[in-house]
Structure 1
Amino acid sequence: MTVINHVNVAKQANVYFEGKVISRTIHFNDGSQQTLGVVLPGEYIFDTAVAEIMNVTSGSFEVLLPNKSEWQTVPAGQLFTLDAKVTFKIRTHEISEYCCEYK
C-alpha cells in the first residue's frame, strides 16, 4: 500500500452519480490538491476544469478520451492525461480506484 504523508484530507466526500463515484480531496502543504476516488461498475461522463493526470490504483477503467472514437483500457498501475475544459467518459466492470492530480 502506498501512503501519502503530510497532507490534510477533506472530511466531506465528493459524491457523484448517486453515490457510484466518490472521492476525497487531499491538500498538500504547497497548496496543490489531488483526489482519491472509488468508482462502482458503470459508465460515467466527466468534465475537467484544469488539466489532470488520472492514475488508476486498483481495478481497471475503459476511457473514451476527447476527440477519440475508440475506448482505451487503462489497468491499475497506469495513467492517462486530460487537458483542461474537456469532456471524457469512464466505464468499469469492477470496483476501481484512482488518484487524480490536478495541473
Structure 2
Amino acid sequence: MITENQYFDGNVKSLGYETAKGKSTVGVINPGEYTFGTAQKEIMHIMEGELTALLPGTTDWQSIKAGSNFEVPANSSFKVKASVQTAYLCQYR
C-alpha cells in the first residue's frame, strides 16, 4: 500500500511504502526551515538539491548535499533548512 503524507501546510510531501526492511518515504521539501520528530531511527538520503541540518546532540548546522545521507536516532527531533526544492528518501529502521 502507498500512503500520501503532507506536512507544514503542504511544503513537505511524501509517498510512503513498506519494504522487507521496514517503512520508507520518498518526497520533496520546499524551501524553508522545518523541525521533524521521529519515533524510529531515520536514515535520510538526499537525492537532489541540498539541506542544512541541525542534528540531535549537535550545535552546528551541517550541509547535506545530493548523494549524501544522515542518520537520526529514534525518539528525537532535528531541524532542516532548504534553500531549493530538495528530494529525499527516508528509511525508518
For residues 39-54 of structure 1, what are the structure 2 equivalents within 5 Å? 39-54=29-44
2:46 and 2:90 mapped to 1: Cα distance? 9
Asked if 1:19 corresponds to 2:19, the answer is no
Spell out, residue by residue over 1:75-100, the C-alpha distance to the aligned partner (whole angstroms, 9 max, x if none).
00000001001110000100001000
Q: 1:91 aligns with which of 58, 70, 81?
A: 81
Higher RCO structure (Cα 8 Å, ≥6 apart): 2
1:69 and 1:27 mapped to 2: Cα distance? 33
Moved beyond 4 Å, runs of 4+: none
**TM-score in terms of structure 2 length:** 0.95
**Amino acid across the alignment from 1:15:** Q
Q: Kindly, what percent of the aligned residue pairs are identical?
A: 37
Q: 1:76 aligns with which of 45, 55, 66?
A: 66
Tell me how large the CA RMSD over aligned residues is. Answer: 1.1
Displacement after TM superposition at 1:32 (Å): 1.8
Structure 2 match to 1:66? 56
Which residues of structure 1 form unaligned runs of 5+?
1-7
Report how many residues are paired.
Answer: 93
1:32 and 1:51 mapped to 2: Cα distance? 11
Which of the two has greater strand per residue?
A: 2
**Amino acid across the alignment from 1:48:** T
Displacement after TM superposition at 1:9 (Å): 2.5
Q: Aligned in 2, Cα 1:31/1:80: closer, same or farther, shift over 3 Å? A: closer
